[in-house]
Protein backbone atom coordinates (compact mmCIF):
# COMPACT_ATOMS: atom_id res chain seq x y z
CA UNK A 1 0.00 0.00 0.00
CA UNK A 2 1.24 3.47 -0.84
CA UNK A 3 0.21 6.35 1.41
CA UNK A 4 0.87 9.80 0.00
CA UNK A 5 1.16 12.33 2.82
CA UNK A 6 0.81 16.08 2.46
CA UNK A 7 3.84 18.27 3.18
CA UNK A 8 4.23 20.03 6.48
CA UNK A 9 2.53 17.37 8.59
CA UNK A 10 3.32 17.79 12.30
CA UNK A 11 5.92 15.25 13.40
CA UNK A 12 3.64 13.65 16.01
CA UNK A 13 0.92 13.06 13.35
CA UNK A 14 3.40 11.34 11.06
CA UNK A 15 4.59 9.21 13.96
CA UNK A 16 0.99 8.30 14.88
CA UNK A 17 0.32 7.02 11.33
CA UNK A 18 3.55 4.98 11.34
CA UNK A 19 2.78 3.56 14.79
CA UNK A 20 -0.69 2.45 13.74
CA UNK A 21 0.71 0.62 10.73
CA UNK A 22 3.68 -1.01 12.45
CA UNK A 23 1.45 -2.15 15.34
CA UNK A 24 -0.25 -4.43 12.78
CA UNK A 25 3.08 -6.10 12.00
CA UNK A 26 3.64 -4.15 8.78
CA UNK A 27 6.79 -2.31 7.77
CA UNK A 28 6.87 1.27 6.56
CA UNK A 29 9.43 2.83 4.26
CA UNK A 30 9.41 6.60 4.07
CA UNK A 31 10.39 8.52 0.94
CA UNK A 32 10.68 12.27 1.19
CA UNK A 33 9.56 14.03 -1.96
CA UNK A 34 9.46 17.68 -2.98
CA UNK A 35 5.65 18.07 -3.00
CA UNK A 36 4.60 15.03 -0.98
CA UNK A 37 6.06 12.43 1.38
CA UNK A 38 5.35 8.82 0.54
CA UNK A 39 4.96 5.84 2.88
CA UNK A 40 5.41 2.42 1.31
CA UNK A 41 3.62 -0.16 3.48
CA UNK A 42 4.76 -3.75 3.11
CA UNK A 43 3.13 -6.89 4.55
CA UNK A 44 -0.38 -8.25 4.81
CA UNK A 45 -2.34 -5.05 4.31
CA UNK A 46 -5.75 -6.78 4.08
CA UNK A 47 -6.47 -5.70 7.69
CA UNK A 48 -5.79 -2.04 6.91
CA UNK A 49 -8.79 0.14 6.17
CA UNK A 50 -7.54 2.36 3.33
CA UNK A 51 -10.55 4.67 3.56
CA UNK A 52 -9.87 5.25 7.24
CA UNK A 53 -6.27 6.24 6.46
CA UNK A 54 -7.34 8.44 3.55
CA UNK A 55 -9.80 10.26 5.81
CA UNK A 56 -6.89 11.82 7.75
CA UNK A 57 -6.47 15.53 6.94
CA UNK A 58 -2.72 14.87 6.53
CA UNK A 59 -3.12 12.18 3.89
CA UNK A 60 -3.46 13.18 0.24
CA UNK A 61 -4.41 9.74 -1.05
CA UNK A 62 -3.96 6.01 -0.50
CA UNK A 63 -3.32 3.42 -3.16
CA UNK A 64 -3.49 -0.33 -2.77
CA UNK A 65 -0.81 -2.27 -4.61
CA UNK A 66 -2.09 -5.76 -3.87
CA UNK A 67 -5.67 -7.00 -4.05
CA UNK A 68 -7.63 -7.40 -0.79
CA UNK A 69 -8.23 -11.10 -1.57
CA UNK A 70 -5.49 -13.61 -0.82
CA UNK A 71 -6.77 -17.17 -1.19
CA UNK A 72 -8.51 -16.38 -4.47
CA UNK A 73 -5.48 -14.46 -5.76
CA UNK A 74 -3.34 -15.99 -8.49
CA UNK A 75 -0.26 -14.28 -7.06
CA UNK A 76 -0.26 -16.68 -4.11
CA UNK A 77 -1.52 -19.68 -6.10
CA UNK A 78 -0.09 -19.52 -9.63
CA UNK A 79 -1.50 -22.83 -10.92
CA UNK A 80 -5.08 -23.06 -12.15
CA UNK A 81 -7.42 -24.75 -9.71
CA UNK A 82 -9.33 -27.79 -10.91
CA UNK A 83 -12.61 -28.46 -9.09
CA UNK A 84 -13.93 -32.01 -9.11
CA UNK A 85 -17.72 -31.97 -9.34
CA UNK A 86 -18.95 -35.50 -8.83
CA UNK A 87 -16.18 -36.84 -11.09
CA UNK A 88 -16.38 -34.05 -13.70
CA UNK A 89 -13.24 -31.94 -13.45
CA UNK A 90 -13.63 -28.23 -14.14
CA UNK A 91 -10.82 -25.73 -14.72
CA UNK A 92 -7.28 -25.58 -16.13
CA UNK A 93 -6.94 -27.69 -19.27
CA UNK A 94 -9.95 -29.89 -18.47
CA UNK A 95 -12.69 -30.28 -21.08
CA UNK A 96 -15.16 -27.37 -21.08
CA UNK A 97 -18.02 -28.32 -18.77
CA UNK A 98 -21.56 -28.02 -20.11
CA UNK A 99 -24.19 -27.55 -17.40
CA UNK A 100 -27.61 -27.77 -19.00
CA UNK A 101 -31.17 -28.25 -17.87
CA UNK A 102 -34.31 -26.32 -17.06
CA UNK A 103 -34.45 -23.13 -15.06
CA UNK A 104 -36.88 -24.80 -12.67
CA UNK A 105 -37.60 -28.45 -11.99
CA UNK A 106 -41.28 -28.87 -12.79
CA UNK A 107 -42.18 -32.57 -12.66
CA UNK A 108 -40.55 -36.00 -12.52
CA UNK A 109 -41.45 -36.71 -16.16
CA UNK A 110 -40.09 -33.43 -17.52
CA UNK A 111 -36.95 -33.76 -15.42
CA UNK A 112 -36.24 -37.19 -16.87
CA UNK A 113 -37.04 -36.08 -20.42
CA UNK A 114 -34.84 -33.00 -20.25
CA UNK A 115 -31.97 -34.88 -18.58
CA UNK A 116 -32.06 -37.51 -21.32
CA UNK A 117 -32.08 -34.88 -24.06
CA UNK A 118 -29.29 -32.69 -22.66
CA UNK A 119 -27.13 -35.75 -22.07
CA UNK A 120 -27.71 -36.82 -25.67
CA UNK A 121 -26.76 -33.30 -26.81
CA UNK A 122 -23.43 -33.55 -24.96
CA UNK A 123 -24.03 -31.92 -21.58
CA UNK A 124 -21.75 -33.11 -18.79
CA UNK A 125 -23.73 -31.76 -15.80
CA UNK A 126 -27.47 -31.44 -15.21
CA UNK A 127 -28.77 -28.15 -13.84
CA UNK A 128 -32.17 -27.39 -12.38
CA UNK A 129 -33.67 -25.08 -9.79
CA UNK A 130 -35.71 -26.56 -6.97
CA UNK A 131 -35.67 -23.44 -4.80
CA UNK A 132 -36.25 -20.49 -7.11
CA UNK A 133 -35.40 -16.86 -6.37
CA UNK A 134 -38.30 -15.25 -8.25
CA UNK A 135 -38.78 -11.50 -8.51
CA UNK A 136 -42.52 -11.90 -7.91
CA UNK A 137 -43.92 -13.81 -4.95
CA UNK A 138 -46.77 -14.89 -7.27
CA UNK A 139 -44.41 -16.67 -9.71
CA UNK A 140 -43.64 -20.40 -9.43
CA UNK A 141 -41.31 -20.81 -6.45
CA UNK A 142 -39.99 -24.29 -7.24
CA UNK A 143 -40.75 -27.83 -6.08
CA UNK A 144 -38.21 -27.55 -3.25
CA UNK A 145 -37.25 -30.95 -1.73
CA UNK A 146 -39.33 -32.82 -4.28
CA UNK A 147 -37.39 -31.06 -7.04
CA UNK A 148 -34.06 -32.09 -5.49
CA UNK A 149 -35.36 -35.67 -5.36
CA UNK A 150 -36.27 -35.62 -9.06
CA UNK A 151 -32.78 -34.34 -9.86
CA UNK A 152 -31.18 -37.11 -7.82
CA UNK A 153 -33.29 -39.63 -9.77
CA UNK A 154 -32.11 -38.06 -13.03
CA UNK A 155 -28.49 -38.36 -11.88
CA UNK A 156 -29.05 -42.03 -11.05
CA UNK A 157 -30.47 -42.68 -14.50
CA UNK A 158 -28.24 -40.50 -16.67
CA UNK A 159 -25.06 -40.27 -14.62
CA UNK A 160 -24.60 -36.48 -14.79
CA UNK A 161 -23.62 -34.67 -11.57
CA UNK A 162 -26.32 -32.18 -10.55
CA UNK A 163 -26.21 -28.41 -10.02
CA UNK A 164 -28.90 -26.60 -8.05
CA UNK A 165 -29.33 -23.28 -6.28
CA UNK A 166 -29.25 -23.00 -2.51
CA UNK A 167 -31.01 -19.89 -1.23
CA UNK A 168 -30.66 -20.23 2.53
CA UNK A 169 -28.45 -21.97 5.06
CA UNK A 170 -31.35 -23.93 6.59
CA UNK A 171 -31.30 -26.22 3.54
CA UNK A 172 -27.54 -26.73 3.60
CA UNK A 173 -27.69 -30.33 4.90
CA UNK A 174 -30.15 -31.30 2.18
CA UNK A 175 -27.81 -29.88 -0.46
CA UNK A 176 -24.62 -31.40 0.97
CA UNK A 177 -26.34 -34.76 0.97
CA UNK A 178 -27.80 -34.58 -2.53
CA UNK A 179 -26.25 -31.92 -4.77
CA UNK A 180 -22.84 -32.15 -6.49
CA UNK A 181 -22.43 -28.43 -7.22
CA UNK A 182 -24.20 -25.89 -5.02
CA UNK A 183 -25.16 -22.80 -6.96
CA UNK A 184 -25.24 -19.48 -5.15
CA UNK A 185 -27.37 -17.17 -7.22
CA UNK A 186 -26.69 -13.58 -8.19
CA UNK A 187 -29.08 -12.31 -5.52
CA UNK A 188 -27.18 -14.07 -2.76
CA UNK A 189 -23.64 -13.31 -3.87
CA UNK A 190 -23.18 -10.97 -0.94
CA UNK A 191 -25.16 -12.94 1.62
CA UNK A 192 -22.06 -13.14 3.80
CA UNK A 193 -23.69 -15.28 6.49
CA UNK A 194 -24.55 -17.87 3.83
CA UNK A 195 -21.05 -17.63 2.32
CA UNK A 196 -19.53 -18.34 5.74
CA UNK A 197 -21.69 -21.46 6.06
CA UNK A 198 -20.44 -22.62 2.65
CA UNK A 199 -16.89 -22.29 3.92
CA UNK A 200 -17.58 -25.05 6.45
CA UNK A 201 -18.41 -27.69 3.83
CA UNK A 202 -16.41 -29.31 1.04
CA UNK A 203 -19.11 -29.50 -1.65
CA UNK A 204 -18.09 -27.42 -4.70
CA UNK A 205 -19.77 -24.02 -4.99
CA UNK A 206 -20.80 -22.24 -8.19
CA UNK A 207 -20.71 -18.57 -7.21
CA UNK A 208 -22.66 -16.38 -9.59
CA UNK A 209 -21.74 -12.74 -10.00
CA UNK A 210 -24.18 -10.36 -8.28
CA UNK A 211 -26.58 -8.24 -10.30
CA UNK A 212 -24.41 -5.14 -9.97
CA UNK A 213 -21.27 -6.55 -8.41
CA UNK A 214 -17.81 -5.39 -9.35
CA UNK A 215 -15.22 -8.03 -10.13
CA UNK A 216 -13.49 -7.27 -6.84
CA UNK A 217 -16.70 -7.66 -4.83
CA UNK A 218 -17.34 -10.98 -6.57
CA UNK A 219 -13.82 -12.22 -5.84
CA UNK A 220 -14.16 -11.08 -2.22
CA UNK A 221 -17.30 -13.23 -1.95
CA UNK A 222 -15.29 -16.19 -3.24
CA UNK A 223 -12.66 -15.27 -0.62
CA UNK A 224 -15.32 -15.61 2.10
CA UNK A 225 -15.99 -19.22 1.07
CA UNK A 226 -12.31 -20.06 0.77
CA UNK A 227 -11.41 -18.32 4.03
CA UNK A 228 -13.86 -20.66 5.75
CA UNK A 229 -11.94 -23.65 4.39
CA UNK A 230 -13.83 -24.62 1.22
CA UNK A 231 -11.42 -24.35 -1.70
CA UNK A 232 -13.85 -25.75 -4.27
CA UNK A 233 -15.16 -22.56 -5.78
CA UNK A 234 -16.15 -21.97 -9.40
CA UNK A 235 -17.09 -18.47 -10.56
CA UNK A 236 -20.03 -17.85 -12.89
CA UNK A 237 -20.64 -14.68 -14.89
CA UNK A 238 -24.36 -14.33 -15.70
CA UNK A 239 -24.55 -10.76 -16.94
CA UNK A 240 -24.72 -7.55 -14.96
CA UNK A 241 -27.25 -4.76 -14.79
CA UNK A 242 -26.48 -1.82 -17.05
CA UNK A 243 -28.49 0.95 -18.72
CA UNK A 244 -29.16 -1.32 -21.74
CA UNK A 245 -32.67 -2.80 -21.69
CA UNK A 246 -32.42 -4.71 -24.98
CA UNK A 247 -31.00 -7.77 -23.27
CA UNK A 248 -32.04 -9.03 -19.83
CA UNK A 249 -28.55 -8.26 -18.54
CA UNK A 250 -25.26 -7.26 -20.14
CA UNK A 251 -22.82 -10.13 -20.57
CA UNK A 252 -19.43 -8.96 -19.32
CA UNK A 253 -17.33 -11.42 -21.26
CA UNK A 254 -14.13 -9.54 -20.50
CA UNK A 255 -14.27 -11.09 -17.03
CA UNK A 256 -12.95 -14.36 -18.47
CA UNK A 257 -9.43 -13.08 -19.17
CA UNK A 258 -9.60 -10.70 -16.20
CA UNK A 259 -10.57 -13.42 -13.72
CA UNK A 260 -7.90 -15.66 -15.22
CA UNK A 261 -5.29 -12.96 -14.62
CA UNK A 262 -6.44 -12.19 -11.10
CA UNK A 263 -7.42 -15.63 -9.86
CA UNK A 264 -6.73 -19.34 -10.21
CA UNK A 265 -10.40 -20.31 -9.89
CA UNK A 266 -12.35 -21.77 -12.83
CA UNK A 267 -14.87 -19.53 -14.56
CA UNK A 268 -18.15 -20.50 -16.20
CA UNK A 269 -20.34 -18.32 -18.42
CA UNK A 270 -24.14 -18.33 -18.30
CA UNK A 271 -25.35 -16.73 -21.53
CA UNK A 272 -28.97 -17.68 -20.75
CA UNK A 273 -29.48 -15.26 -17.86
CA UNK A 274 -27.06 -12.77 -19.45
CA UNK A 275 -29.16 -12.34 -22.59
CA UNK A 276 -32.63 -13.55 -21.56
CA UNK A 277 -33.27 -14.48 -25.18
CA UNK A 278 -32.70 -17.90 -26.75
CA UNK A 279 -31.80 -16.28 -30.08
CA UNK A 280 -28.70 -14.76 -28.49
CA UNK A 281 -27.52 -17.69 -26.41
CA UNK A 282 -25.53 -19.62 -29.01
CA UNK A 283 -23.36 -16.72 -30.18
CA UNK A 284 -22.54 -15.66 -26.64
CA UNK A 285 -21.77 -19.26 -25.64
CA UNK A 286 -19.36 -19.62 -28.55
CA UNK A 287 -17.76 -16.29 -27.71
CA UNK A 288 -17.30 -17.50 -24.12
CA UNK A 289 -15.47 -20.60 -25.33
CA UNK A 290 -13.27 -18.44 -27.55
CA UNK A 291 -12.55 -16.19 -24.56
CA UNK A 292 -11.29 -19.16 -22.52
CA UNK A 293 -14.23 -20.03 -20.26
CA UNK A 294 -13.96 -23.31 -18.35
CA UNK A 295 -17.63 -24.09 -18.70
CA UNK A 296 -21.07 -22.96 -19.81
CA UNK A 297 -24.42 -22.96 -18.09
CA UNK A 298 -27.22 -23.23 -20.63
CA UNK A 299 -30.90 -23.35 -19.72
CA UNK A 300 -32.55 -26.03 -21.84
CA UNK A 301 -36.13 -27.31 -21.89
CA UNK A 302 -38.08 -29.74 -24.07
CA UNK A 303 -41.00 -27.29 -24.20
CA UNK A 304 -39.65 -23.77 -23.61
CA UNK A 305 -42.91 -21.93 -24.46
CA UNK A 306 -44.58 -23.72 -21.57
CA UNK A 307 -41.67 -23.67 -19.11
CA UNK A 308 -42.69 -22.38 -15.69
CA UNK A 309 -39.59 -20.18 -15.50
CA UNK A 310 -37.24 -18.52 -18.02
CA UNK A 311 -38.76 -20.17 -21.10
CA UNK A 312 -37.75 -17.27 -23.38
CA UNK A 313 -34.07 -17.91 -22.78
CA UNK A 314 -34.26 -21.71 -22.72
CA UNK A 315 -32.89 -23.61 -25.69
CA UNK A 316 -34.56 -26.59 -27.31
CA UNK A 317 -32.36 -29.69 -26.90
CA UNK A 318 -31.54 -29.66 -30.64
CA UNK A 319 -30.24 -26.12 -30.28
CA UNK A 320 -28.05 -27.23 -27.39
CA UNK A 321 -26.68 -30.05 -29.55
CA UNK A 322 -25.82 -27.58 -32.33
CA UNK A 323 -24.23 -25.17 -29.86
CA UNK A 324 -22.04 -27.95 -28.46
CA UNK A 325 -21.04 -29.11 -31.92
CA UNK A 326 -19.98 -25.61 -32.98
CA UNK A 327 -18.39 -25.09 -29.56
CA UNK A 328 -16.17 -28.11 -30.14
CA UNK A 329 -14.64 -26.48 -33.22
CA UNK A 330 -13.94 -23.25 -31.34
CA UNK A 331 -12.62 -25.13 -28.30
CA UNK A 332 -10.19 -26.89 -30.63
CA UNK A 333 -8.90 -23.54 -31.90
CA UNK A 334 -8.21 -22.34 -28.36
CA UNK A 335 -6.62 -25.66 -27.42
CA UNK A 336 -9.42 -27.05 -25.28
CA UNK A 337 -11.62 -30.12 -25.41
CA UNK A 338 -15.36 -30.10 -25.11
C1 LIG B 1 -30.73 -19.53 -12.35
O2 LIG B 1 -29.63 -20.05 -12.62
O3 LIG B 1 -31.82 -20.04 -12.66
C4 LIG B 1 -30.74 -18.20 -11.68
C5 LIG B 1 -31.79 -17.78 -10.98
O6 LIG B 1 -29.62 -17.50 -11.89
P7 LIG B 1 -29.14 -16.03 -11.40
O8 LIG B 1 -28.91 -16.15 -9.94
O9 LIG B 1 -27.91 -15.82 -12.20
O10 LIG B 1 -30.25 -15.08 -11.75
MN1 LIG C 1 -33.31 -19.23 -14.78
- Ligand 2: distance of its center to the CA of 59 in Å? 47
- In CATH, the number for domain 2-63 is 3.30.70.1140
- Please choose from 104, 127, 133 the residue to mutate so as to test ligand 1's pocket, defined by most ligand atoms within 8 A of CB: 133
The answer to whether residues 250 and 239 touch, using CB atoms and an 8 Å cutoff, is: yes
Q: Closest Cα to residue 321, out of 292, 300, 290, 293?
A: 300
Residue whose CA is at the smallest distance from ligand 1 atom 9: 186
- Ligand 1: distance of its center to the CA of 186 in Å? 6
Predicted pLDDT of residue 48: 87
Query: Which residues lie near ion ligand 2 (Cβ < 5 Å)?
Result: 103, 310
Task: Return the C-alpha torsion angle 199, 77, 260, 215, nearest 10.
Answer: 50
Residue 101 Cβ inside 6 Å of ligand 1? The answer reads: no
Annotated domain spans of the chain: 2-63, 74-333
pLDDT tens, N- to C-terminus, the chain (338 residues): 999 999 988 988 888 888 888 999 999 999 999 999 999 999 888 888 889 999 999 999 999 998 889 999 999 999 999 999 999 999 999 999 999 999 999 999 999 999 999 999 999 999 999 999 999 999 999 999 999 999 999 999 999 999 999 999 999 999 999 999 999 999 999 999 999 999 999 999 999 999 999 999 999 999 999 999 999 999 999 999 999 999 999 999 999 999 999 999 999 999 999 999 999 999 999 999 999 999 999 999 999 999 999 999 999 999 999 999 999 999 999 999 99
Predicted pLDDT of residue 16: 86
CATH superfamily, with its number, for domain 74-333: Aldolase class I (3.20.20.70)
Predicted pLDDT of residue 46: 83
- Mean pLDDT rounded to a whole number for the chain: 96
Buried b (16+ CB within 10 A) or exposed e, 5-26: beeebeeeeeeebbeebeeeeb
Predicted pLDDT of residue 131: 98
328: which residues sit within 8 A by CB, 6+ positions away?
A: 338
- Ligand 1: distance of its center to the CA of 92 in Å? 25
pTM score, two decimals?
0.94
Q: Which atom in ligand 1 lies closest to the alpha carbon of residue 188?
A: 8
Amino acid sequence: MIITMKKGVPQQETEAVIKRITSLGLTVTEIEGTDFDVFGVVGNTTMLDDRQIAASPYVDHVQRVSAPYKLVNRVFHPEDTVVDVGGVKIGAGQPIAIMAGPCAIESRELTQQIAEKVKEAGATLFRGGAYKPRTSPYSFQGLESKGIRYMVEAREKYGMPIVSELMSADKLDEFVENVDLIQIGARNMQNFQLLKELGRIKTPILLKRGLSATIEEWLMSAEYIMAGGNENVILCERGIRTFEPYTRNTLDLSVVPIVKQRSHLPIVIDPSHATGNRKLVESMALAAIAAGADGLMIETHVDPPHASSDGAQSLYPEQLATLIEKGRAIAHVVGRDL
